[in-house]
Each structure stands twice: as structure tokens, then as C-alpha cells.
């Protein structure tokens, strides 16, 4: 056998052995999976698994709910109510921590009333146990579990936004729980209550609560109210008009975007003054909101082309540029240089932003560039 043939034979042999290895791995993995399923099926009927295996399976959140519940009752019967509750209430070691988590899952399935106080306490303890407890409460989908999550929003070892996400993901209505949160004494709790109210935006009582929150003493709550008012189908525009003039810049920004989301008829005249706001974020929100009007924004922003504030002038030109008005106005004025109205409009744009003028020349068709340059010369001479 020549050397090339020997090398090819070795390669073929290695490939065959690799194929055998992969095949054995797949077959063994499938066999283990099938064995586990058969054991779980036997366990669901009350037999076949060791006590330890039943406990582990009962606490497995990936199993179908009905199977988890049956296994949980078997595990609870094996441990006994008192021992299960004791194991779910505290831990000292790392192993004890995971057994506590296991017990909390099982107890929540078989005896929610006993589990809720223990889950409530767990939210304020070890971070791992707190995180799992929040997930268990979110999965229970009961009013009582929702109230436990709501109470923990300000003082648990789980981030408030995660607890709020569990409440928001409830598959059933929690308007009473959320409405109570929005009326709490704590500003942080009011903030989350108002934020969660947007899920119930079509309700009359929700609109009333959001309008009340728009006058809240806490700026974070007012910002949440502004954002939520952007989702309601009707009403609340007057509250948003007031929030556009709020002392807090982030409230003004939220209000501007909410008015844009609502396509409010007064959007242009209400938001245009924000083009000269002290805050860059507010000016940006105002430009985005006005741009959403399309060419209809021109009437609202044109007066600001000659404003004493440079931010307002630049913002007005940017909005006109975004909606295509700059190119249209300059093009018409260049082709009709004796139309005084069009020439004055073009002059205001060029004076407000030379950069916008030269950018328009770059975008223009070749045959229009010379007339546009001549327009700029005439404007300079008139000045």
C-alpha cells in the first residue's frame, strides 16, 4: 500500500470511529431522555421514583403544570406539612438554600395560603431565594400573590422593575392592586402603580388616576403619568399640555413624546416652544414629536426660524429639513426669485442655518444648484 492510500485509509477509519461515537452519544442521550420520561409518567401515577427524585421533579419549573402539581402533592405527603413548611422558611448551608427553594416551589403548589407569608419573607432575604420566590409568585397568578409582589416593590432583594414585570405579565386583571399602588404614600410605589396602569388604558377610572398623577408632587410619578397618558385612547390631552411646561426636564420630554403618540390636534403649537428648551433631551423629543406631523409641522415651527434663541432656530430648520420642507421652499424660491413670500421664507431658512442651506444644494438636482447658489447671493445682498 502506498503512503497516500495508507493516509486515506487512516482518515476513513477515523471518520468511521467519529461517526460511531456521535451515533452512540445520540442513542444514549435519547435512551436517558425516554427513561426519565417513563419515570416521570410512573411518578405522576404515584409510583416509580425515589423520594429525592420526586422532590426534585416536583420543584422543576419546566414540567407541565398538571404534572408538577401531582408531583408536588406526592412530595408534600412524603415530607409532611410541618417539615415542608420548616424547610421552606429558612436555610443555613448552600445545600439548605436549594432545598429551601425546592420546598417553596412545592408548598406554593399544594398550599398557597401557607406559602405566601414564607415567599413574602424570602423576597427580603438571600438574593437567590428572593429571585426564585418572585418567579414563584409571578406564576401563581392570584390576587393574593400579586399583593405580595406589590408590597415588596420598595424593600425586597429583587429589583423593583423585575417585580413590576411579573405584575405586568399577569394573565388576568389586577386593576385593584395596581390602582392601590398608584395611590400609595410612597413615591416609589406610586411610580410603579402609575407605570402599570398603562395596561388598563381604556378604562375611565384609569384615565382619572393618570390625570391625578399628572399633578403628583414627585417628578418621577409625573413622568410615568405622561408616558402612560400617551397610551390612552381618549382624554388626558389637557394634562399633557400642562406636563409640557413641567419644571422637570424629563417630564417635559415624556409629555412631548406622549402628545406625538396621541396625534393630538394641538401638538404643533404645544410642543414647538420646546425647540428652545434648556435641555438637549427635551429639544430632541420636541423635534421628534413635530417631525411626526410631516409637512403639517411647517406652520408650527416656521415662526421660530427668526427666534432670538439659536437652539429654537436650529431646531425649526431641522424639523423642516426632516419633513422635506427645506428642499421644497428653497427650490421654489430659486425658480421664482420674484415671489416675495417664497423668497422671505427661504431667507429665514438660510439665516437660521447655513448648514441646512448648503446641504440642500448638495441634495438638489444638478440643474437646480446654480439657481440655489444665486438665491443665497441675493439673500446676502438683501441682508
Residue 171 cell numbers, joined: 394573565
- In whole numbers, what is the pLDDT of the chain averaged over residues? 84
> What gap in Å lies between CA 183 and CA 193, rounded to an integer?
8
Q: Identify the burial level of 285 via C-beta atoms within 10 angstroms of its C-beta, where 0-12 means exposed, 13-18 middle and 19 or more buried.
A: buried
Q: Where in the chain is the domain with CATH 1.25.10.10?
A: 173-282
Classify residue 305 by its DSSP letter.
G
- The model carries a pTM of 0.76
67-76, Cβ contacts within 8 angstroms, sequence gap of 24 or more: 67/40, 68/109, 69/109, 69/110, 70/44, 71/40, 71/43, 71/44, 72/105, 72/106, 72/109, 72/110, 73/109, 73/110, 74/43, 74/46, 75/51, 75/106, 76/106, 76/107, 76/110, 76/111
- Higher-pLDDT residue of 318 and 29 is 318
Mean pLDDT (whole number) for 119-132: 93
Between 30 and 300, residue with greater pLDDT: 300
pLDDT band with cut points at 50, 70 and 90 for residue 46: very low
Q: Report residue 209's pLDDT band, with 50, 70 and 90 as the boundaries.
A: very high
Question: Is 237 in contact with 266 (CB distance < 8 Å)?
Answer: yes
| Distances from the Cα of 277 to the Cα of 223, 272, 307, angstroms | 17, 10, 13
For the cut 70, the answer to whether the pLDDT of residue 382 exceeds it is: no
Q: Where are the beta strands (DSSP E) in 18-87?
A: none
Question: What pLDDT, on the 0 to 100 scale, is given for residue 172?
Answer: 79
Confidence at 148, pLDDT banded by 50, 70, 90: very high
378 versus 365: the higher-pLDDT residue is 365
- Class of 173-282 in CATH: mainly alpha
65: cell is: 403544570
Query: Residues 79-109: pLDDT tens digits?
Result: 788 888 898 898 889 888 888 998 899 888 8
Distance CA 306, CA 207 (A): 39
Q: What are phi and psi of 192, to 5 degrees?
A: -70, -35
- Give the single-character DSSP code of 123: T
Instruction: Give yes or no for residue 350 having a pLDDT over 90.
Output: no
Mean pLDDT for 4-31 is 61
Calculate Rg over the CA atoms of the chain. Answer: 33
Residues 149 and 135 sit within 8 Å (Cβ to Cβ):
no
Q: What is the pLDDT of residue 358?
A: 83
Highest mean pLDDT among 283-287, 335-339, 360-364: 283-287
Q: What is the pLDDT of residue 115?
A: 92
Amino acid at each position: 500500500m502506498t503512503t497516500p492510500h495508507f493516509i486515506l485509509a487512516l482518515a476513513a477509519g477515523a471518520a468511521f470511529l467519529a461517526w460511531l461515537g456521535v451515533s452512540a452519544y445520540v442513542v444514549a442521550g435519547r435512551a436517558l431522555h425516554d427513561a426519565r420520561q417513563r419515570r416521570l409518567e410512573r411518578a405522576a401515577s404515584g409510583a416509580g421514583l425515589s423520594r429525592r427524585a420526586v422532590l426534585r421533579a416536583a420543584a422543576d419549573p419546566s414540567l407541565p403544570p398538571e404534572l408538577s402539581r401531582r408531583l408536588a402533592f406526592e412530595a408534600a405527603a412524603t415530607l409532611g406539612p410541618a417539615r415542608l413548611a420548616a424547610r421552606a422558611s429558612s436555610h443555613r448551608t448552600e445545600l439548605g438554600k436549594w432545598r429551601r427553594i425546592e420546598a417553596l416551589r412545592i408548598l406554593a403548589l399544594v398550599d398557597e395560603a401557607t406559602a405566601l407569608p414564607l415567599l413574602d419573607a424570602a423576597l427580603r432575604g438571600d438574593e437567590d431565594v428572593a429571585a426564585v420566590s418572585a418567579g414563584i409568585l409571578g406564576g401563581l397568578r392570584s390576587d393574593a400573590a400579586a399583593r405580595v409582589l406589590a408590597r415588596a416593590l420598595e424593600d425586597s432583594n429583587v429589583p423593583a422593575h423585575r417585580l413590576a414585570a411579573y405584575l405586568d405579565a399577569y394573565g388576568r386583571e389586577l386593576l385593584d392592586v395596581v390602582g392601590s399602588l398608584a395611590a400609595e404614600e410612597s413615591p416609589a410605589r406610586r411610580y410603579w402603580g402609575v407605570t402599570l396602569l398603562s395596561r388598563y388604558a381604556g378604562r375611565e377610572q384609569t384615565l382619572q388616576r393618570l390625570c391625578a398623577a399628572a399633578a403628583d408632587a414627585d417628578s418621577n410619578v409625573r413622568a410615568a403619568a405622561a408616558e402612560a397618558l400617551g397610551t390612552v385612547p381618549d382624554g388626558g390631552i389637557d394634562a399633557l399640555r400642562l406636563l409640557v411646561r413641567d419644571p422637570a426636564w424629563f417630564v417635559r420630554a415624556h409629555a412631548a413624546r406622549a402628545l406625538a403618540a396621541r396625534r393630538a390636534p394641538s401638538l404643533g403649537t404645544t410642543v414647538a416652544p420646546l425647540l428652545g428648551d434648556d435641555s438637549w433631551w427635551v429639544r430632541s423629543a420636541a423635534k421628534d414629536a413635530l417631525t411626526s406631523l410631516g409637512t403639517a409641522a411647517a406652520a408650527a415651527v416656521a415662526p421660530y426660524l427668526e427666534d432670538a434663541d439659536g437652539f429654537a432656530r436650529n431646531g425649526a430648520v431641522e424639523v423642516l429639513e426632516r419633513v422635506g420642507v427645506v428642499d421644497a421652499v428653497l427650490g421654489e424660491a430659486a425658480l421664482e426669485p420674484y415671489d416675495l413670500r417664497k423668497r422671505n421664507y427661504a431667507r429665514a431658512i438660510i439665516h437660521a442655518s447655513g448648514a441646512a442651506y448648503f446641504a440642500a444644494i448638495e441634495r438638489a438636482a444638478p440643474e437646480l444648484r446654480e439657481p440655489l447658489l444665486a438665491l443665497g447671493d441675493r439673500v446676502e445682498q438683501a441682508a
